[in-house]
Amino acid sequence: MAYRIGFGIDFHQLAEGRELWLGGVRIPHTKGSLGHSDADVLLHAICDALLGALSLGDIGMHFPNTDPAYKDIDSKILLRKTMELVAAKGWKVVNIDSTVCLEAPKIMKYAGQMKEIIAAAVGVALDDVSIKATTTEQMGFIGRGEGLTAYATVLLERGA
């Protein structure tokens, strides 16, 4: 059986007047992610990890922020489209490990919902999706509440 590992990372500014979407879940907060799409850093990092594992470029190459078709698009759609590319190459997800880095709000009470959405989109069991959260202990742009980031690692195996 052949395997591939991919790593993804995404950053977004936080801004008032925007909704905060993480892992496909709208999280109540005074600020949201600023971006061309819904700016879901977690789903974007997962998309990049999936694409990178198969040397398919990155999310900006497939879903450019210069294309009006992707303006305010739900990132769950981008994840499903990314999975279509992965499946077309004959691969499937084994597991996903991810970390969201932000100072506020606390997000782990939403992790179960996020895992359900991600697992369904990529075709794995809930136990095959890991979501963790951390702060930067008030250091840097994340610590000042100016932005957030997400990291994701995926393991793919060639389909049977």
Q: Nearest Cα to 155, choosing from 34, 36, 44, 54?
A: 54
| pTM (two decimals) | 0.95
Q: What local confidence, expressed as pLDDT, does residue 64 receive?
A: 87
Separation CA 114–CA 22 (nearest Å) = 7
Q: Cβ neighbours of residue 140 under 8 Å, at least 6 residues apart? A: none
Q: Which helix (H) or strand (E) holds 93?
A: strand 91-101
CATH code at position 85: 3.30.1330.50
Q: What local confidence, expressed as pLDDT, does residue 101 receive?
A: 97
User: Which residue has 């996020």 as its token pair?
Assistant: 114
Separation CA 137–CA 147 (nearest Å) = 14
Domains identified in the chain, total number: 1
Q: Which helix (H) or strand (E) holds 76?
A: helix 75-88
Give pLDDT tens digits along the chain (160 positions).
699 999 999 999 999 999 999 999 999 999 999 999 999 999 999 999 999 999 999 999 999 888 888 888 999 999 999 999 999 999 999 999 999 999 999 999 999 999 999 999 999 999 999 999 999 999 999 999 999 999 999 999 997 5
Residue-wise pLDDT tens digits, 52-88: 999 999 999 999 888 888 888 999 999 999 999 999 9
Separation CA 159–CA 89 (nearest Å) = 9
User: Which residue has 């078709």 as its token pair?
Assistant: 69
Name the residue range of residue 109's domain.
3-158
Q: What local confidence, expressed as pLDDT, does residue 1 receive?
A: 65
